[in-house]
Structure 1
Amino acid sequence: MFLILAAFLAPMPVRALEKAPPKDHRRVILDRLGEILVKEGFALGVDFRRWSDHVDKYRDRIRAAQDEQEFLSVVNQALAEFGISHLKLKTKRQMRRKRQGTKYGIGLFPMPQEKGLLVTWVVPDSPADQAGLRPGDLILSVDHQDVDDPADVLTRTGKNREFMWMHREKPRQAEIRDALFRQEELEPARILNGDLLLIRIPSFDSGIYHPKKVAKLFESADTARVLMLDMRSNPGGDIDHLKHLLSLLFPSGTPLFHEIRAHHLNEAGLKPRQVPEDVSGFLKQRFSRDQPLGRLHKAGRYRSYPSVPVVVLVDHWTASSAEIFAAVVQEHQRGVVIGSPTQGLVLPSMTFSLPHGFRVQVPVSDLVTFGGRRLENDPVIPDHPLPPQKTANEEQLILAVLEYLDL
């Protein structure tokens, strides 16, 4: 358990950006990163031995990086050449904040739109929230520069920036500065329209998702006409927590999803290079022949609510374990998914230590549904798709759910 100082309960400025590591340190960091990728990394269809090729493309920019943020950004661009998720260079400081339940930034989730960036979610009590930004707002500019890329607002500068946005067709502006803020936590279940139970699951991460607390939130599900699970902007998290939540909806023993690791290929008599570029097609073919791969995860023995109708709310920033959750509900026809298409970023990962205070997040397995669907680069498409603006606006979203369910 980590002790969180009271000062962390409200946003607070932190010191200016750190300097980039010395050039000799950079070489050591990158060499060790490559060793970890080859030894520990796994994702179907990916050859991590190509790290040296990718880093060579960015070597001059890596050498020229002036501060830590720029160094992280360029190295992560090199890692992005692999074309997969959950592969990222981080600092020890970032990982410590995550364990403590804090984050550094402004606390919003933006999505590109024709004339700016749509705010899909705002973390309560974050700098963005305190400045008055709300889900459904449209950010027009930052420091008088038009914005069209989430990086335009998410890149941390440590400085005051002037935001201009539209809120319900009225212009607003404010100076916003990156700061430490508490990550969103579980909140009490809400009863809507008399008998609709709404439970928000902001993350499956340890420290945010508490199985006993979640089970407590479900106690009213027996009498609910509909159970709505809000997964909007849920970035995913622990597989065990994903299984726990699914186990509250399905009878014990229900097959949920497969987790594929490198040794599962060996057990099937396959080598990594035998997996074609069309990984999804390869998996569908095997599963259709009753030749599944990997460890099958099943629903555990918990008090479950298998009869209450379920609605899963998703949006552009729903990712990883939250996407698997929605896909399992769809595949088993356990409920309906409503909202906007998800991220398509679904690879279980681990974090490994690097020299000089850095860490690297590396995928170590693949997740596919019981039926063999791989969601990496293949987002969940809702059963009832809605425009992002309507998905971001809770009032409009709930009305759309009621209309869809004819309630």
Structure 2
Amino acid sequence: MTSRLSRTLLAFALTALLTPAAHADAPTGPAASADIRAKDTFDIVWARLQSSGFKGEHEQLDWATLKAEHQPDIENAKDIAALRREINELLQDLRASHLVLIPAEAMPQAGKPFEVGNGELGMRLTIVDGRFLVEQVIDGFPAQRAGIRPGWVVERIGDFDAVSTLTSLSKASPDAARRGSTMLQLHANDLVDAVSPGARIALQLRDLAGETRDLSLTAVANPDIQTVSLPGLPPMPLRFTQRKLSARDGDCVLYVEFNQWAMPVYDRFVAALREHGGCRGVVIDLRGNSGGLMASMSAVGGLFFDKPVSLGTLITSGGDLRLTALPRQVTDDGRDVRRFSGPLAILTDRASVSCSDMFPAGMQALQRARIFGDTSAGMALPAGVAPLPSGDRLMYPMADYVDAKGRRIESIGVIPDAPSAPTAAALRAGRDPALDAALAWIGEAQ
């Protein structure tokens, strides 16, 4: 069984963004037969939006018009599919991130096992020039053993038609296309690295010569993946990897990559610095990182400062809150925490979301890190999750965020200090432009 959040939530959000009417088909699972309580559901959705601290001023929202347009359709929905479709149309019109209707099927059900996949094929995908390309192939995993190489074009993953979906995305509005490309990249990667060991995944690719390759690969367990739970969300897989690389001058560089922010990230980072803190520089790879807990972001940030500093401000209806990087002296078991004062590089791309928008923004504003790669997602509204009478859940923005320089990141993203997005030519040559540029900078840093 694959990760239910991966298959249900991301696919649901992407389909809602591109083709709202696609939800006319009735769903399966617990929500299919439940009393949808459409009027009560609208009341809760609207109340949460009004009290959230998200005022939509930058999006130039007319709340009265939005309510008049959407309330009747939502309250008159006859089944769960229609209710979801109408709510999603309202959420799209708000033109902001972190507005997601989470279907009941994505949550654990009482008495039923809920598995989170810790298996993968060992490949990372990115969107370049309107196509999915293999960006990385991990040594020792099935993708490498099958001969897949960076630069190959991915056309299909199981039932997911990458070509037609990207074609649909190209016809969307600029705002929908931006958010859609983020969710699409996250979804496609989730299809190959959040699955159960032993699962067979059919792939259709084009190799460097343009020849079609139809492959069927079996996922294997990745010991670096563990299951974590975030408030109000289903259990999710957390992958944390580290390795020692070389800078241009031969000095070592600690490379750390993780796919979401959670407190185990801090513990693993502390251990990595304890082992490799003598290296010349550190690279944090946030490409494809979908966000998570701000507390984890504050804790990790504290590893790079000797005193508390503000990573930015959360603007809420009840007042402003500082998002602070908090250095710790010792771990919970009493061991010293080794902080790092050398060059810090952060890698971002279009799928660096939420905390992975905010963290690089804050570190860049403080001039504590240099950012490489592509502009981040620009989906930087801290969010909460509320249960709905229909049985679904609403993820909604609770605040706005500005970095330490007062820059708003939502819908803009973090612009790299050294833009180094992947290109088809670079990937075909086996190069990683963002990582290569980061390592060169660390090697030259004084």
Q: Same fold (TM over 0.5)?
A: yes
Shift of 1:50: 5.5
Question: Which 10-residue stretch deviates more, 146-155 or 196-205?
Answer: 146-155
CA separation in 1, counterparts of 2:257 and 2:427? 14
CA separation in 2, counterparts of 1:173 and 1:245? 42
Question: Which residue type is aligned with residue 213 of structure 2?
Answer: R
Aligned to 1:285: none
- Superposed, 1:194-273 pairs within 5 Å as 195-205=252-262, 209-264=264-319
Question: Which residue type is aligned with residue 320 of structure 1?
Answer: S
Shift of 1:304: 5.5
For residues 195-251 of structure 1, what are the alpha-carbon distances to aligned partners after superposition, in whole Å with 9 as ceiling and x for unaligned? 111011321135xx4422221112245311111111111111111111111111122
- Are 1:332 and 2:366 matched, yes or no? yes
Aligned to 2:50: 38
Contact map agreement 1:92 1:359 (CA 8 A) in 2:
yes
Contact map agreement 1:257 1:370 (CA 8 A) in 2:
yes
Aligned to 1:173: 214
State the superposition RMSD in angstroms.
Answer: 4.7
Distance 1:101 1:296, change over 3 A: farther
Aligned to 1:364: 398
Shift of 1:300: 1.5
CA separation in 2, counterparts of 1:245 and 1:234? 15
Aligned to 1:299: 325
Shift of 1:37: 2.2
- Superposed, 1:96-111 pairs within 5 Å as 96=108, 102=116
Residue number among 375, 378, 386 corresponding to 1:341 in the alignment: 375
CA separation in 2, counterparts of 1:114 and 1:299? 37
Aligned to 2:94: 82
Contact map agreement 2:381 2:400 (CA 8 A) in 1:
yes
Which runs of 5 or more structure 1 residues have no equivalent in the other structure? 1-6, 265-293
Contact map agreement 1:198 1:227 (CA 8 A) in 2:
yes
Shift of 1:259: 1.4
- Are 1:396 and 2:432 matched, yes or no? yes
CA separation in 2, counterparts of 1:35 and 1:308? 47
Question: Which residue type is aligned with residue 401 of structure 1?
Answer: A
Distance 1:191 1:386, change over 3 A: closer
Question: Which 10-residue stretch deviates more, 387-396 or 345-354?
Answer: 387-396
CA separation in 2, counterparts of 1:239 and 1:310? 20
CA separation in 1, counterparts of 2:83 and 2:300? 38
- Are 1:187 and 2:221 matched, yes or no? no
Q: TM-score, normalised by structure 1?
A: 0.70
- Superposed, 1:53-92 pairs within 5 Å as 53=68, 55=70, 72=84, 75-92=87-104
Which runs of 5 or more structure 2 residues have no equivalent in the other structure? 9-25, 170-180, 192-199, 219-224, 228-236, 329-336
CA separation in 1, counterparts of 2:130 and 2:88? 28
SS of residue matched to 1:246: helix
Question: Which residue type is aligned with residue 239 of structure 2?
Answer: E
Question: Which 10-residue stretch deviates more, 229-238 or 114-123?
Answer: 114-123
SS of residue matched to 1:140: strand
Question: What fraction of aligned residue pairs are identical, expressed as a percent?
Answer: 20
- Superposed, 1:153-168 pairs within 5 Å as 154=187, 163-168=203-208
Contact map agreement 1:250 1:304 (CA 8 A) in 2:
no
Distance 1:234 1:121, change over 3 A: farther
Distance 1:326 1:143, change over 3 A: closer
Shift of 1:358: 0.8
Contact map agreement 1:43 1:347 (CA 8 A) in 2:
no
- Are 1:379 and 2:391 matched, yes or no? no
- Are 1:351 and 2:351 matched, yes or no? no
Shift of 1:298: 2.9
Question: Which residue type is aligned with residue 363 of structure 2?
Answer: V
CA separation in 2, counterparts of 1:205 and 1:95? 19
Shift of 1:355: 1.7
Distance 1:358 1:56, change over 3 A: same
Question: Which residue type is aligned with residue 214 of structure 1?
Answer: F
Distance 1:57 1:78, change over 3 A: farther
CA separation in 2, counterparts of 1:186 and 1:38? 37
Distance 1:167 1:229, change over 3 A: farther
CA separation in 2, counterparts of 1:326 and 1:95? 31
- Are 1:25 and 2:82 matched, yes or no? no
Contact map agreement 1:41 1:48 (CA 8 A) in 2:
no
Question: Which 10-residue stretch deviates more, 119-128 or 78-87?
Answer: 119-128
